[in-house]
Amino acid sequence: MDHLLRFDELCLKLAAVGERINDDEKLVVLLGTLPQAYDATVRIIVASNGVTLLIAKEMLRREYETLQRREKKEVALKAAAAALQAGGSSNKNQQGRKGGKKQGKKGGNPQFRGKCFLCKQTGRKQANCPKKNEKSSDEFVFSVMDPHSDGVESTWLLDSGASSHMTGDVGDFVEYQDLPASIWVTVANGQRLEARGRGCVRIVLDQGTTVKLTDVLFVPQLDSRLVSVPALTAKGSVVVQFERSHACILVRGSIVAMIPKIGKLFVWRVKRNHDVQVAHAADETRPASGSLALWHARLAHVAPSRMKMISQACDGVPRFDGHGDDGQGLCDGCSLGKLSFSPFSHTSGSEVKTSMPFELVDSDVMGPIKPPSKGGAKYLVTFIDDFSWRVYVNVIMSKAEVFRCFKEFVAMVRTQYGLPVQRLRSDNGGEYVSVI
């Protein structure tokens, strides 16, 4: 966007001559210099709290892309209309010339009495059928307006009166299950329609963001897809703002979609990318081979009762009914943590007694740990003072780093406490013995 580039260049020039301008002042100047086409976006930025200069630039960039796509559509429509007009006039001229020749020979052109193969109307040929022209112009517009589209476009209507999301196309769902009992939906004209199933729908926005709609009802007789505003805003993180010409969907303060108003309806055109849907559907409907165990570990080995509550309250967490172990097996860490051991029998001959810190240090290496840390560490080396029972832990990538950690530990003890490490006790592992 040239306007933003020129604005940033001007700010850099001012900073070069010592004129410092804070971000709030920059935002005011930027919004005041935008063209009239961005008035709706400017009003949204002004009405929203906490919008920084960086967020405002991103919103303006998205609006610029939307305007560019709209301009391409208008150019395509004008080109299609011009092509149709040119084709119609040439057909008329050709028919006039042919008719004149036939009139000279036979004295007239008899009217066509056959039936069109497309519209089935008598007295019209397929070559001159309006439906054929409409079809060709639609294909032309579609190919021009979005050459990079890799998904199937679907249209949803934003409905502030609907209690649930609804669709009449079962192909929209990535997760679906039949309802045990039918739910009857009353539409605006008073007609009652039967909802037969419920599931999840994934849609892809213009900027590539994937949105998941949950608890979507399947109503076969419904002729439009409906997005329920109360269902969107139920969890509090989503806000829908209605303007005179469009509506905005904000997630945690950031605009994710701008829905234009066409007539009296807010029409949301999105992509239904089958590749994305199938991939996510495979992830979420896959048997829980380790998925519950993974979430159990992610949530700090939470108890089964808490796991059941979380799975019911949160999206994306596998369903857990709390009965048994749900096929996951017992968690080794939880089982070991709940075990109790009888106290070891100590004899006076084998009992070690120390009289000062670091007179005896116990050391051991634990690992490899799965999964490794984000930095790639797989092992832990511990140093435990037998006198104070204070524990020192180092995270290492391999066992070859144990000796380095021991030297650092000895230097730390001597520096901080002024004491030497007199004895080291280990399990005679190779990481200790190999460096002696």
* CATH number of the domain residue 246 falls in: 2.40.70
Shared domain check, 378 and 312: no
Q: How many residues does the chain have?
A: 436
Any domain includes 137: no
Q: Which CATH number is 409's domain given? A: 3.30.420.10
Euclidean distance between CA atoms 429 and 167, whole angstroms: 65
- Asked, for residue 340, whether it belongs to a domain, the answer is no
348/173 Cα distance (integer angstroms) = 72
Domain check: are 232 and 295 in the same one? no
Do 388 and 307 belong together in one domain? no
Do residues 156 and 276 both lie within one domain? yes
300 and 321 assigned to the same domain: yes
Tell me, yes or no, whether 371 and 392 share the same domain.
yes
Whether 121 maps to a domain, the answer reads no
Cα distances (Å, whole numbers) of residue 283 to 23, 174, 217, 409: 43, 11, 22, 46
Are residues 381 and 396 in contact, defined by beta-carbon separation less than 8 angstroms? yes
Is residue 126 a part of any domain in this protein?
no
CB 426 within 8 A of CB 366: no
Q: Which of 301, 335, 369 is the last residue of a domain?
A: 335
Domain-located, residue 297: yes
**Is there a domain that residue 106 lies in?**
no
Domain-embedded: residue 50: yes
> What count of other Cβ atoms lies within 10 Å of the Cβ of residue 431?
21
Say how far apart CA 184 and CA 194 lie, in whole Å.
5
Whether omega for the bond prior to residue 343 falls within 30 degrees of 0, making it cis, is: no
Mark whether 73 and 168 lie in a shared domain: no
Closest alpha carbon to 173 in 196, 141, 191: 196
Give the domain extent around 380.
Answer: 361-433
One domain, residues 240 and 324: no
Tell me which residues of the chain have a pLDDT lower than 70. Answer: 1, 78-113, 117-118, 120, 125-127, 130-152, 207, 272-291, 315-316, 318-330, 344-352, 434-436
Helix axis angle, 39-47 to 23-32, nearest 10°: 150
| CB distance 423 to 403 below 8 Å | no
pLDDT tens digit string along 374-413?
888 889 999 998 888 889 999 988 888 888 899 899 999 9
The beta strand positions in 143-274, using DSSP E, are 152-159, 166-167, 173-186, 192-204, 210-218, 225-228, 238-242, 246-251, 254-262, 265-272
Say what the pLDDT of residue 88 is: 54
Is residue 200 located within the same domain as residue 276?
Answer: yes
The pTM assigned to this predicted structure is 0.33
Q: State which amino acid sits at residue 53.
A: L
CA distances from 230 to 90, 159, 223, 237, 238 (A): 54, 9, 21, 12, 10
What was the pLDDT predicted at 150? 42
Count of the separate structural domains present in the chain: 4
Residue at which a domain ends, from 42, 62, 79: 79
Q: Where a domain ends, among 55, 79, 103?
A: 79
Residues 300 and 216 in one domain: no
**Residue 175's closest CA among 263, 281, 102, 250?**
281
Question: How far apart are alpha carbons 165 and 92 in whole angstroms?
Answer: 50
- Comparing CA positions, the residue from 73, 10, 8, 65 lying closest to residue 37 is 65
- In this predicted structure, what is the pLDDT of residue 171? 82
Query: Same domain, yes or no, for 427 and 367?
Result: yes
- With respect to residue 244, please indicate whether it lies within any of the assigned structural domains: yes
The reply to whether 179 and 294 lie within a common domain is no
